[in-house]
Amino acid sequence: MKSLLQLFVAFVLIVSFAACGGDKATTTGSSGGVKAGPGTITQSASNTVKLMTWRYLPQDAQVISDFETKFGVKVEVEVRPMVKIIGDAVDGKRIDADVLIVPTLEDAARLRGFNALQPFFVEAFTNGNVGDRYLDNEGYWAGLTRWTMATVYNPNAVTSEEAGSYKGIVKATTRNIRLGVAHPDSSGLAGVVAGLHLNLNPSAAQLWAKTIYERSSGGLQGSDQDQMNRLLAGQIDMAFVSQGAAVRWFLNGNPQHFAAAKAWRVRLPHTEATNINFFNMTCVTMPANSPNRQLGLRLIDYFYDEKVQEVLTSAWFEYPCESFAETEAYLYGFPDNIGNKISGEDIDKNLGNAWAIINDIAAGRE
């Protein structure tokens, strides 16, 4: 198995040279709605578009600056924690933004459930630039970048086979392997349960989720970064976290994290029966009653520019959803490939079942 040190070598090379390779998505058909393509912006006298996001990196700021320069507009950016964004939706408060970026498909689905979003459609969706598997059929969300839940583990305690499958993760806990998992409100756990519910069967999904709850060390708690810190402190042997969160943790400049990357290993788990890995996505959405819908559509369309996608995937350590954007080489340093056989739409359709399972298990433990 490849050491994580190889990721760092690739990363350094990428900083100096343009990477090669691509990840091509399937062609998507067109759907209804207002397009955001070439032409003047005439909807509103306002020349300002409001972007809300839970995270704003320097690379994101450069993308926004380039958009402002290209179109001669102003982008107001508000960074707001997801718990507050969801809380606003629960309370029926208007989300004051034209464009909203959320970290998981689960977040997009929850916001839609609270009637906080409106459907949208942009030019990038019409000509094969974004694969169908990354788009909501009704237009309430679109995958901006994609990622998957990964196992980060101490190879002195956990085997590659255990870390490499969803079944193996829970089986490892039966021999007292300490597993760390973030709270489901702060992770992609529900997406995995939804995938198991769809791809295997409801009983398998329920049993897997129940075992994760019962055997996770200290219970489901905190965030993905918290689990990485627990692994560093020797409190757990294996962390089940977002792949992007793990790599950002390794590459944040902390020497201890760099050393951990050389010592630990990463797998992208799959189902044993069907060999499926379930992907998740950072999603772009449009809040209901956005003050400047047309300019918001223009911004969303810009996010799917090939070069913009490459900037975002490099900054977030996630895979592009634009068909022709190049995937950076370091993301192929893992021994497994991210899945693409189960669509985001299919995961979305099963999230209600997943949350019902999770909530029932959580209620039974109170």
Tell me the pLDDT of the chain averaged across its residues: 89
Query: Which two three-digit tokens encode residue 157?
Result: 């305690």
CATH class of the structural domain 28-146+279-327 = alpha beta
Using one digit for the tens of pLDDT, what is the confidence trace for 140-195?
999 999 999 999 999 999 999 999 999 999 999 999 999 999 999 989 999 999 99
- At 196, give phi and psi (nearest 5°): -65, -40
**30 vs 45 pLDDT, higher one:** 45
* Global confidence as pTM: 0.86
Strand-pair partners of 142: 135, 284
pLDDT band at 333 (very low <50, low <70, confident <90, very high): confident
The C-alpha atoms of residue 227 and residue 265 are separated, in whole angstroms, by 15
Using one digit for the tens of pLDDT, what is the confidence trace for 317-328?
999 999 999 987
For 141, counting Cβ atoms within 10 Å of its Cβ (0-12 exposed, 13-18 middle, 19+ buried), the class is buried
CATH class of the structural domain 147-278+349-364 = alpha beta
pLDDT band at 261 (very low <50, low <70, confident <90, very high): very high
Strand-pair partners of 83: none
Strand-pair partners of 140: none
Using one digit for the tens of pLDDT, what is the confidence trace for 105-129?
999 999 999 999 999 999 999 988 9
The C-alpha atoms of residue 151 and residue 153 are separated, in whole angstroms, by 6
Tell me if residue 74 falls in helix, strand or coil.
Answer: strand
pLDDT at position 365: 65
Pick from 283, 2, 294: which is nearest to 121 by CA?
294
Residue type, position 211, single letter: T
Q: What is the DSSP letter of 37?
A: -
Residue type, position 51, single letter: L
Domain with CATH 3.40.190.10 in the chain: 28-146+279-327, 147-278+349-364
The C-alpha atoms of residue 125 and residue 226 are separated, in whole angstroms, by 37
The C-alpha atoms of residue 104 and residue 353 are separated, in whole angstroms, by 17
Q: Which helix (H) or strand (E) holds 211?
A: helix 202-215
